[in-house]
Amino acid sequence: MSNIYWDSFKTFVKIGMFTIGGGYAMISLIEAEIVEKKKWIEKSEFLDLLAIAQSCPGVFAVNISIFIGYKLRKTRGALVTCLGTVLPSFLIILLIAMFFHQFEDNKAIASMFRGIRPAVVALIAVPTFNMAKEAKIQFANMWIPIGSTFAIWLLGVSPIIIIIAAGFGGYIYGKYIKPTI
Amino acid sequence: MIFLKLFIAFFEIGLFGFGGGYGMLSLIQGEVVTHYNWLTPGEFTDIVAISQMTPGPIGINSATYCGYTAVHNAGFDGGMAILGSVTATFAVILPSLILMLLISMFLMKYKEHPLVKAVFSGLHLAVVGLLAAATLLLMTRDNFGTINNPWQFWISIFLFMATFIGTKVMKINPIRMICYCAVAGLLLLY
């Protein structure tokens, strides 16, 4: 019998271990492991999840893991995936706090991370294109993703404001403009 | 009582830390350095550097490090200090755990409702913009070096392109791709 708790725990330990440079970098990993390989959630659901995880407080990666865990096995599943995500960084940082205060001075480690950082940026660029396909962007609504990009990138608008505005806009659209969708 | 204080401080950070990793940084700094004096500004900078160089979310990393260091600096032994880092780490994820569980329950129940669907069709469009902005905001000197150091700069650009094509077109697993780039960094950027 293959145990879903153990399987999801292992998967999120793996994801937690390779999340470098913040939660956004995890999107590619999660997509590869959970949407494509394990098929635990669908692609469109994954987009919902990104919006939710972004608009909730707390650690992005942990929020994502809790949602997927809950979907698999309710509250117990959520506790398992949450623990899996946190455990690798907890253990690594604990060891560093206990023993290696001069960790960042290590030249070999520093050079490895100089190689990893541009890769991490690419790992965030890829889902941008994948999600664009999934979000059903048309000519008429193209201004929404483009406008959001520039508002955050150049004007420094908080992503939370964008999410709230987009959700509210969707509600108005669904209720008053095109109530059948 | 240092454990209770750690719990409260990191619970607050988890509750009000919107916007993920770097958005949380100023909040953590405010509590841990300015308010409680658990860490010196230098120690805090160390955590940021370590967080950039180790796996894991920065919110978790700083909670773990801070929990250990604060209890240790208060004169307790190693075992108590580990308990301190468990306390802080647990406290920082507890708000997300409660909120996300409630949201998940709500969504499982109402996800077929037309208005919930309409809200999400709006959100989907915005998330694309969010991701594009995150990519653009990370195109920095910190991550790519500068043109003054052409060797590192062009290798960074190459690794960026290789990872993009490797994961998108050739479907190489992202974890494997990160390992390749770590080796490339070790060999070429030492």
Report the mean per-residue pLDDT for chain A: 83
Phi and psi at residue A138, to the nearest 5°: -120, 175
Task: Indicate the SS3 state at residue A40.
Answer: coil
Q: Where are the alpha helices (DSSP H) in B17-149?
A: 20-29, 41-53, 58-73, 78-110, 114-137, 141-144
Angle at A29 between CA B65 and CA B94, to 5 degrees: 40
**Rg of the Cα atoms in chain A:** 19
Task: Please state at what angle helix B78-110 crosses helix A43-55, rounded to 10 degrees.
Answer: 120
Q: Are residues A45 and A98 in the same domain?
A: yes
Q: Are residues A119 and A160 in the same domain?
A: no
Q: Are residues A101 and A141 in the same domain?
A: no
* Residue whose structure tokens are 């454990």: B3
* Alpha-carbon span B139 to B133, nearest angstrom: 10
Q: What is the pLDDT of residues A7-42, one digit of tens each?
A: 999 999 988 888 776 667 778 888 888 898 889 988
Q: What is the pLDDT of residues A72-84, one digit of tens each?
A: 988 999 999 999 9
Residues of chain A with pLDDT > 70: what percent? Answer: 92
Phi-psi region of B145 (alpha: psi -120 to 50; beta: other; left: phi over 0): left
As a whole number, mean pLDDT of residues A170-174 equals: 88
**Given an 8 Å threshold on Cβ–Cβ distance, is B120 in contact with A162?**
no
Q: Count structural domains, chain A.
A: 2
* Alpha-carbon span A35 to B133, nearest angstrom: 23
> Contact, A23 vs A59, CB < 8 A?
yes
> Contact, B70 vs B36, CB < 8 A?
yes
Q: Are residues A17 and A97 in the same domain?
A: yes
**Which residue range is the domain that position A142 belongs to?**
137-181
The DSSP output letter for A35 is I
Is A176 contained in some domain?
A: yes
Q: Tell me: pLDDT of B22 over 60.
A: no
Task: Concatenate the DSSP letters of all residues of A92-144 into one string.
Answer: HHHHHHHT-TTGGG-HHHHHHHHHHHHHHHHHHHHHHHHHHHHTT--TTTTHH
Q: Are residues A16 and A99 in the same domain?
A: yes
Is A105 contained in some domain?
A: yes
Q: Tell me: pLDDT of B46 over 50.
A: yes
Q: Are residues A145 and A109 in the same domain?
A: no
CA distance A1 to chain B (A): 27
Q: Does B106 touch chain A (CB under 8 A)?
A: no
Q: Pick the more confident residue, A57 or B60.
A: B60
Q: Are residues A150 and A77 in the same domain?
A: no
Highest-confidence segment of A44-53, B85-94, B104-113: B85-94
Would the ipTM clear 0.90, i.e. be above it? Answer: no
Angle at A151 between CA A158 and CA B115, to 5 degrees: 70
Is A128 contained in some domain?
A: no
Which residues of B are less than 8 Å from A28 in CB distance? 167, 174
Is A132 contained in some domain?
A: no
Is A130 contained in some domain?
A: no
User: Beta-carbon neighbour count of residue B26 at 10 Å?
Assistant: 10
Q: Does A107 touch chain B (CB under 8 A)?
A: yes
**Rg of the Cα atoms in chain B:** 21
At residue A180, the pLDDT reads 54
The DSSP output letter for A178 is -
> Contact, B184 vs A112, CB < 8 A?
no
Structure-token pair, residue B171: 């479907």
Q: Which residues contact B114 (CB under 8 A, 6 or more apart)?
A: A174, A179, A180, A181
Q: Pick the more confident residue, A86 or B19.
A: A86
The residue of B113, B124, B152, B167 whose CB has the most chain A CBs within 10 angstroms, and thus the best one to mutate to test that interface, is B124
At which of A75, A90, A123 does a domain end? A123
**Given an 8 Å threshold on Cβ–Cβ distance, is B144 in contact with A117?**
yes
Positive or negative, the CA dihedral B62, B63, B65, B71 is positive
Is A85 contained in some domain?
A: yes
Residues of chain B with pLDDT > 70: what percent? Answer: 94
Q: Are residues A144 and A113 in the same domain?
A: no
At residue A102, the pLDDT reads 63
Q: Tell me: pLDDT of B35 over 50.
A: yes
Q: Which of A14, A103, A166 sits opposite B126 (nearest CB)?
A: A166
The residue of B98, B127, B155 whose CB has the most chain A CBs within 10 angstroms, and thus the best one to mutate to test that interface, is B127
At which of A93, A123, A153 does a domain end? A123
Q: Tell me: pLDDT of A1 over 50.
A: no
* Alpha-carbon span B177 to B159, nearest angstrom: 10
> What per-residue string of b and e applies to B46-81 under the rule 16 or more CB within 10 Å gives b?
bbbebbbbbbbbbbbbbbbbbbbbbbbbeebeeeeb
Q: What is the pLDDT of residues B149-190, one digit of tens each?
A: 888 999 999 999 999 999 889 988 888 888 899 899 999 988
* Alpha-carbon span A173 to B120, nearest angstrom: 11
Q: How far is CA A161 from CA A43, A53, A148, B96, in A?
A: 24, 14, 10, 19
The DSSP output letter for B112 is T
Is A129 contained in some domain?
A: no
Q: Tell me: pLDDT of B146 over 60.
A: yes
Q: Pick the more confident residue, A180 or B119.
A: B119
Q: Are residues A90 and A172 in the same domain?
A: no
Q: Are residues A89 and A27 in the same domain?
A: yes
Is A36 contained in some domain?
A: yes
Q: Are residues A35 and A106 in the same domain?
A: yes
Q: Are residues A119 and A173 in the same domain?
A: no
Q: Does A21 touch chain B (CB under 8 A)?
A: yes
Residues of chain B with pLDDT > 90: what percent? Answer: 26
Q: What is the pLDDT of residues B102-134, one digit of tens each?
A: 988 888 888 788 888 888 888 888 888 888 887
Give A 112-151 residues with CB within 8 A of chain B.
112-132, 134-137, 141, 144-151
